Amino acid sequence: MIEEAIARGPHVSATAPDAIAYFQSEIEQKVAAGQAKVVLWDDIKDNFPPQLKISPLALVPHKSRLFRAILDLSFRLRLQSGGFIPSVNETSEKTAPQAACEQLGHVLRRIIHAFAEADEDAKIFMAKFDIKDGFWRMDCAEGEEWNFAYVMPQEEGQPVRLVVPTSLQMGWIESPPYFCAASETGRDVAEDYVETPIGSRPVHKFEIYTKGDSAYQDLPPTATGEMKYLVEVYVDDFISLAIPTSQEQLDHVARGVLQGIHDVFPANDDDSMDAIALKKLLKEDGKWMLEKDLLGFMFDGDEKTLWLEEPKRLALLQILKNWLRTSNRSDRGIPFDEFYSVICRIRHAFTSVPAGMGLLSHCNDVIRLNPRFVFLQRNKNLYNSISAIRTFLRETAAMPTKCRQLVLGHPHFIGIKDASSFGVGGVVVGEKDEVVPTVFRLEWPQEIRDALISFNNPDGSITNSDLEMAGLLSLVAGNGRNLPRLTPQTCRLVQ
């Protein structure tokens, strides 16, 4: 089985001359850093380690460098005998802690809540720090690294070499929870450091990259006012928010976060090889600013608003434009995988535009059917939804959403209601606002009763759910004081 896996070798994407040249340069750096070793197959083939498994390596184009190496640890090799070699992921016993990964879905919401709860005149400063080659900083247990071996891409005719990474690999099913457990620990340590007295932390070597923005310079050097802060981590992104009264307070938070990271991911004397990505610091990611990209959204710490970052928004607009343009051709459909992927991205984008979620109803109907292709020209409602979604996305940059609009605050009024075929009634009391406790009851006009669907009137136009919604509209719109007149038009409006 090992011999057949070696004979198959890397993915074709890793065998092009430019890919080979790039990979050899990268693996030299990994070997020098102690994150991988290279062995000749001939040296171990007669007595190879029992954990040895061979997976295919692929090299895919990347936005910030020529290629990204991806080890396919889900690959099942079909043997000449007709059987299969189970993948590394299939044979892995899950032992990593899962709680850290479960936090990922809450990070963006917590940041939005922090913005929503801030005072209107507060200024929220943001900084973020990225872990360079995160998974590569998690060492395998001795001997287990042979599970991640792969054939080194090289020119034909050379002896077969195996690359054996000594660190966790991106394609392994257990890498994310193990890494997130480490990064969450770094966040906890950082928070402990930030809780220490202002000025008690030593100066950090990367602290200089957090200063310099004009808003930072406008703050007084020192002050005794209260500081509010939040430290979050999303996989390898450490995110800091602060409402300071002085530069000293921002420096203190930066030192705490930077030192907390280095306590878990050790520093390197060579700044370019440090665990904290110097390249991102040079791009001013770590600089305290009032406007910054966090988790795909641009946040404004002065206005407390957010909107989808420009590259993501333009990419979605172009995709939707192509969908609408090609819908004129009856033979042209959207592959379901593409449709599903884009709708998921749109759903995430509508985090900042919750009103847009209603436009996804017809998209969700199509996803439930799971067709091979999606044809907009055969579904007018879906076509209109896609067109409206594109309009919403186009307007988001011009009209950023207030974070406060995305968070449910404590209610001003509290009420209950119930509806039947005879009428609607309920109770309203004040909570934040004062209001005389009110009990109301309204009898439906005869024209509404006559339009209600029932066993005796199956062709009616109003359902009991419409009556419930009309009652809810009365409760909300009237606030117990000026209840609107209920008509068939009101019920149809709610419907």
Mind listing the pLDDT tens digit for each residue in 10-60?
988 888 889 999 898 889 989 988 899 999 999 999 999 999 999 999 888
In contact, 16 and 108? CB cutoff 8 Å = no
Q: What is the pLDDT of residue 484?
A: 46
Are 2-95+139-165 and 102-134+174-303 in the same CATH fold? no
Q: What is the pLDDT of residue 364?
A: 94
Q: What is the pLDDT of residue 492?
A: 46
Cα–chain center distance at 482: 44
- Secondary structure in 3-state letters for the chain: CHHHHHHHCCCHHHCCHHHHHHHHHHHHHHHHCCCEEEEEHHHHCCCCCCCCCECCEEEEECCCCCEEEEECCCCCEECCCCCEECCCCCCCCCCCCCHHHHCHHHHHHHHHHHHHHCCCCCCCEEEEEEECCHHHHCECCCCHHHHHEEECCCCCCCCCEEEEECECCCCCCCHHHHHHHHHHHHHHHHHHHHCCCCCCCCCCCCHHHHCCCHHHHHCCCCCCCCCEEEEEEECCEEEEEEECCCHHHHHHHHHHHHHHHHHHCCCCCCHHHCCECHHHHHCCCCCCECEEEECCEEEECCCCEEEECHHHHHHHHHHHHHHHHHCCCCCCCEEHHHHHHHHHHHHHHCCCCHHHHHHHHHHHHHHHHCCCEECHHHCHHHHHHHHHHHHHHHHHCCCCEEHHHHCCCCCCEEEEEEECCCEEEEEEEECCCCCCCEEEEEECCHHHHHHECCCCCCCCCECHHHHHHHHHHHHHHHCCCCCCCCCHHHHHHHC
Q: What is the pLDDT of residue 478?
A: 57
Could you tell me the CA-to-CA distances from 117 to 192, 402, 411, 412 in Å, in that order? 23, 11, 15, 17
Which sequence spans correspond to the domains of the chain? 2-95+139-165, 102-134+174-303, 310-406, 413-494
Q: What is the pLDDT of residue 477?
A: 65
Q: What is the pLDDT of residue 397?
A: 75
Q: What is the pLDDT of residue 429?
A: 86
Fold of 2-95+139-165: HIV Type 1 Reverse Transcriptase; Chain A, domain 1 (3.10.10)
pLDDT digits (tens, 9 = 90+) for 254-286: 999 999 999 999 999 999 999 999 999 999 999
Q: What is the pLDDT of residue 399?
A: 85
Q: Residue 8 contacts by C-beta under 8 Å, 6 or more apart in sequence?
A: 56, 77
Q: What is the pLDDT of residue 69?
A: 86
Residues of the chain with pLDDT under 70: 330, 477-495
Q: What is the pTM of this model?
A: 0.81
Q: What is the pLDDT of residue 170?
A: 86
CATH code for the part of the protein at 102-134+174-303: 3.30.70
The token duo for 136 is 């590569």
